[in-house]
């Protein structure tokens, strides 16, 4: 998949009211990446439900309470967002230098290397990247908006999409693994798009500002680009 958000007309199909969403996952959600006492406000979002684990931290998730079809708008954050004075664990990067707070339960969307949803910072919506059934987590690929994560973390999503190899080697490796019916565990450190090679970014629907920042990086430092491998587990 190589979608980008450089599309002018909204690519998402709006269903009912803006603002819905859901998610769940095995990786830390933005809300719980830090024990900060300065927690962002969080308002309920229709058709989404936050699940707080009682067994420890890093296990909250946002689940869908209804079915969403691929491309369908899950939720809008246009009416709740606020410009953040600085990047932090709960913010979403919306341009090369600007970050926003979602100010809703969307902050509980976890990261996944095989995300169920995409965050479109141009139209301020969360849309389904695949069919999402009730009870399934609404996740998104954090590097699709974040150039450098405020708090990098280890991803345990288990997606076979990534391997410890970058680019073509990784694709060949994954193909072989799939043929052999093995599951490649994702051991990626999620630190933002800055550490990812362009060929890796091309596998995801990433924001326009991420593509621009990657192009700037690769044009000013080709050597760095060739060394940029996301998997530094
Ligand atoms: Zn992962």
**What confidence score (pLDDT) does residue 56 get?**
59
Q: Rounded to the nearest 5 degrees, what angle is found at the Cα of 161, between the Cα atoms of 105 and 196?
A: 80
CA of 113 to the centre of ligand 1 (A): 4
**H-helix or E-strand spanning residue 171:** helix 167-179
59 falls in which pLDDT band (50, 70, 90)? Answer: confident
For the segment 80-92, the average pLDDT, to the nearest whole number, is 96
CA of 24 to the centre of ligand 1 (A): 13
Say yes or no to pLDDT of 1 above 80: no
Say yes or no to pLDDT of 18 above 50: no
CA of 162 to the centre of ligand 1 (A): 7
CA of 154 to the centre of ligand 1 (A): 8
Say yes or no to pLDDT of 75 above 50: yes
What is the DSSP annotation of 55-123? S-SS--EEEESS-B-TTBEEEE-TTT-EEESS--TTEEE-SSS-EEE--SGGGGPEE-SS-SEEEETTT
CATH of region 30-227: 2.170.270.10
CA of 231 to the centre of ligand 1 (A): 10
Say yes or no to pLDDT of 8 above 50: no
* Rg of the chain in Å (alpha carbons): 17
CA of 225 to the centre of ligand 1 (A): 21
Q: Which residue has the tokens 């450098």?
A: 148
CA of 226 to the centre of ligand 1 (A): 21
Which stretch of 39-48, 92-101, 209-218 has the lowest confidence by average pLDDT?
39-48
CA of 18 to the centre of ligand 1 (A): 28
Q: What distance in Å separates the CA atoms of residue 193 and residue 4, rounded to the nearest whole number? A: 14
CA of 87 to the centre of ligand 1 (A): 22
Q: What confidence tens digit (pLDDT) does each residue in 206-230 have?
A: 999 999 999 999 998 766 555 554 4
Q: What distance in Å separates the CA atoms of residue 233 and residue 205, rounded to the nearest whole number? A: 23
For the segment 175-201, the average pLDDT, to the nearest whole number, is 68
**Do residues 177 and 160 touch, judged by C-beta distance below 8 A?**
yes
- Nearest alpha carbon to residue 99 among 109, 89, 112: 89
Q: The whole model's pTM is what? A: 0.74
CA of 141 to the centre of ligand 1 (A): 9
**What confidence score (pLDDT) does residue 188 get?**
73
CA of 122 to the centre of ligand 1 (A): 25
Q: What confidence tens digit (pLDDT) does each residue in 126-158 have?
A: 999 999 999 999 999 999 999 999 999 988 887
């Amino acid at each position: 998949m190589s979608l980008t958000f450089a599309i002018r007309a909204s690519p998402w199909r709006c269903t009912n009211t803006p603002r819905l969403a859901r998610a769940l996952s095995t990786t830390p959600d933005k809300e719980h990446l830090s024990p900060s006492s300065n927690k962002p406000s969080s308002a309920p979002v229709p058709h989404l439900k936050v699940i707080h684990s009682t067994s420890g931290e890093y296990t909250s998730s946002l689940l869908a309470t209804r079915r969403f079809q691929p491309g369908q708008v899950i939720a809008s954050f246009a009416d709740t967002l606020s410009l953040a004075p600085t990047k932090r664990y709960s913010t979403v990067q919306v341009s090369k230098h600007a970050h926003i707070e979602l100010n809703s339960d969307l902050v509980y969307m976890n990261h996944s290397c095989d995300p169920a949803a995409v965050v479109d910072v141009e139209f301020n919506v969360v849309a389904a990247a695949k069919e999402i059934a009730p009870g399934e987590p609404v996740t998104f690929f954090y590097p699709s908006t974040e150039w450098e994560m405020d708090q990098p973390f280890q991803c345990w999503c288990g997606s076979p999409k990534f391997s410890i190899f970058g680019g073509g080697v990784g694709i060949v490796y994954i193909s072989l693994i799939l043929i052999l019916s093995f599951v490649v565990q994702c051991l990626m450190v999620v630190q933002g798009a800055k550490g990812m090679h362009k060929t890796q970014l091309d596998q995801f629907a990433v924001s326009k500002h991420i593509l621009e920042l990657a192009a700037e990086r690769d044009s000013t430092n080709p050597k760095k680009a060739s060394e940029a491998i996301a998997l530094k587990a």
